[in-house]
Amino acid sequence: MQLFAILSRLSIAFWVGGASLFTFVLTPIIFKSFPRDQAGVIVGHLFPAYFRWGLACGFLALITRLLLRGKEGVPATVILVVMLCLTSFQAFYIEPRAVALKKEIASFESTSKDHPARKAFGKLHGISAVCNLTVIAGGIALIVLP
């Protein structure tokens, strides 16, 4: 049973660490190093793998928690399920819609911020950012909680 507890915490740490690295280090570096449109293409290519990583880590954490049969507590399992739901929402709803909207925007550098597709993309980006930060906060809480 100790192995399941270790695997659960380790998978959450990998998930939160990966999300934090992508969000707070990698993405800002890419957007500082490349023109806006090129940076968007690069980050867009990384998103599918980013979400698969989160889902894989999350499902491993959930499975190991369930194998512990509640010894880790219901609140932690609820937090984990919410994190997985948010990541799934990002991967299967927000990301495909953002990709479709990007096809309608010739260039983020030259297309007006008032353009309907650009506004819709901004709204999706904002929702995704809130989801992402909530997942990171939930993961930190799971790592810190006993």
Mean pLDDT of 43-66: 95
State residue 129's pLDDT score. 97
Q: How many CA atoms lie within 13 A of 46 on its CB side?
A: 14
- Least Cα distance to 121 among 102, 144, 93, 106 occurs for 102
State residue 19's pLDDT score. 97
The chain-wide mean pLDDT, for the chain, equals: 93
What is the end-to-end Cα distance of the chain in Å, rounded? 16
Q: Is the pLDDT of residue 4 over 60?
A: yes
CA angle 47, 52, 56 (to 5 degrees): 150
Q: What is the pLDDT of residues 98-125, one digit of tens each?
A: 999 999 999 999 999 999 999 999 999 9
Residue ranges of alpha helices (H) inside the chain are 2-21, 27-33, 36-67, 74-89, 95-104, 116-144
User: Domain limits of the chain?
Assistant: 2-144
